[in-house]
Structures are given as structure tokens and as C-alpha cells.
Amino acid sequence: ITLRRALGSRRMADAPDGVDLDAPVLETIQYVQVEAHGDGWQGRTPDWHEGAMFGGFVLGQAVHAATRTAPEHTRIHSLHAYFLAPVAAGSTVDYRVRSLRDGRRFSSRLLEATQDGRPVNDESLGPRNHHPGRPRDHLRAPGARQLVR
């Protein structure tokens, strides 16, 4: 898949000749994904940066791990993250996800990320049921004029 095809009708800025805009984005997407490993998930970190990875990178992998354990048709509704220690570049991160609740509308997950046996990130995530095609009109907030009548 190319980035241009993934974006559909949206246009990207024209790149200088010989510059491949698709490769870095696709490589990033590959690194954000996690794979089953033992009783949890494991993600790789690129060695692009010397030292520590950015927190958003860890969040992306954590969300991917948590959603792999959530019921079908759910989307992340809430997320609370605690960064406990820097994540070293070029090493793997292990994610353990514990299911606290799977209700009709809401679920709850606790996630612990470790690297080399030490905790680096804790998260509480709340997937919420989402049914594709269901009208969402009842969720829209009223306009300002309707509120001041």
C-alpha cells in the first residue's frame, strides 16, 4: 500500500524528485504495531533516535496492544497514561493487558509496559462499544443559540 493510496483523494505536498514520502510513514506504522508475545504483546522500537523514544510512540503501541484484547466494535473512549521511565531506542517493549470489565457499552483495561524488566508506562484505557452505521445524532451538543433561549 502506498501513502498516496491510503490518503485517497487528499493530496500531499509535492516532494522533491527522488524523495520517497511513503517509506518513512509506512516504517512508522510498522513500528507502532505490536505482536503477540508470551501472555502479552511486544513492540519494537526503532533506533532512529539516540537515547529515549517519544511518549507518543509508546502510547501508540500501548493503544494497539489494548485494542487487541478489547471486544469487537469498540473504540478507545478514555485513556490515562503515566510515563514512569524513559523508553530506550533500539530495544523491545513488553505490554501486559489486564481486562477489568467487559460490559454492554463500556470496557476497562489496565496496561503495564516494561522494558528490560522495569516499568516504563502504566495506562488505564476505556474502550466503548461502537456500532458502525448507527446514527449519532443524539450525541451532538446543541448550538449556542439553542442554549441561550
Of 64, 70, 71, the closest CA to residue 93 belongs to 64
pLDDT value of position 123: 93
In angstroms, the CA 1 to CA 132 distance is 24
* Residue 9 confidence (pLDDT): 46
> DSSP 3-state assignment of 146?
helix
pLDDT band with cut points at 50, 70 and 90 for residue 10: very low
> At 24, is the secondary structure helix, strand, or coil?
helix
- Residue 68, burial from CB neighbour count under 10 angstroms (0-12, 13-18, 19+): middle
**Position 13 pLDDT exceeds 70:** no
Cell of 147: 442554549
Least confident of 30-44, 108-122, 134-148: 134-148
